Structure 1
Amino acid sequence: MLFISFSKVQKKLIDNIRERRLQMNLTQEGLAERSGVPLPTLRKFEQKGLISLDSFLKLLSVVGGLEEMVDVLKPKEQSFKSIDDVLKSEEKPIKKRGSRK
């Protein structure tokens, strides 16, 4: 269930990256140079929130947060409440792909 809109998430991400950039005392030009993200792309991101995943990850690699992003997105481990839960999980075949809808 989503408790925050996508536009608010986008705004928070923009603000957080900008704040990290400013804490590092970097201009937009400095961050663009260090990250390899073109300056117009960085400006477009800070103004409108539009950026490719590749460029976003490059920015995170400079301002910090890349490892945390990877850790947050790790699949959660199964927790079992009883031996029956364990046995039920072993009966199911392991899926290699997502299901079609």
Structure 2
Amino acid sequence: MSLITQRRAQKRIAQNMRDLRLGRELTQKGLAERSGVSLSSLRKFEQKGSISLESFLKLALTLGFMDKLITATEPVESNFSSIDDVLAKDDKKPKRGKHE
């Protein structure tokens, strides 16, 4: 569990992306043109941290960290201490999400 709030995470991700853009010596206009994200959406993202997932992924692809993003969202595999743990895990593998 993380102690960071959603709002702070948004701002931090936006700042990280801005730093990546500047590190590649791209202007906001240049990144917007290369990624296909509107300049107004990019500005709003860098200032407030708000952007659609589609636009975020376009920026990730253009800035070169799409693979890292996909890896960061992969489920974490647990470590097993015995073959019984492995077999028990396979039996309990969910077929679909829980209803809430």
TM-score computed with the length of structure 2 as normaliser = 0.89
Secondary structure (helix, strand or coil) at the match of 2:95 reads coil
Whichever residue aligns with residue 79 of structure 1, its letter is N
Alignment of 1:51-66 (within 5 A): 51-66=51-66
SS of the residue corresponding to residue 85 of structure 2 reads helix
The equivalent residue for 1:35 is: 35
Q: Which runs of 4+ in 1 moved over 3 A?
A: none
- Aligned pairs for 1:63-82 (under 5 A) are 63-82=63-82
Q: What is the aligned-residue identity percentage?
A: 50
TM-fit CA distance, 1:27: 0.7
Aligned to 2:46: 46
Mark the CA change 1:90 to 1:45 in structure 2 (over 3 Å): closer, same or farther.
closer
- The total of aligned residue pairs comes to 100
Give distance in 2, aligned partners of 1:15 and 1:65. 15
TM-score (norm 1): 0.89
1:87 to partner: Cα distance: 3.1
Shift in Å, 1:22: 0.7
Shift of residue 67, structure 1, vs aligned partner: 0.5
Considering only aligned residues, what root-mean-square deviation do their CA atoms show, in Å?
1.4
Aligned mates of 1:39, 1:83 — CA distance in 2 = 54
Query: How far off is 1:83 after superposition?
Result: 2.6
Structure 1 residues without counterparts, runs of 5 or longer: none
Q: Which residue of 1 aligns with 2:99?
A: 100
User: What are structure 2's unaligned runs of at least 5 residues?
Assistant: none
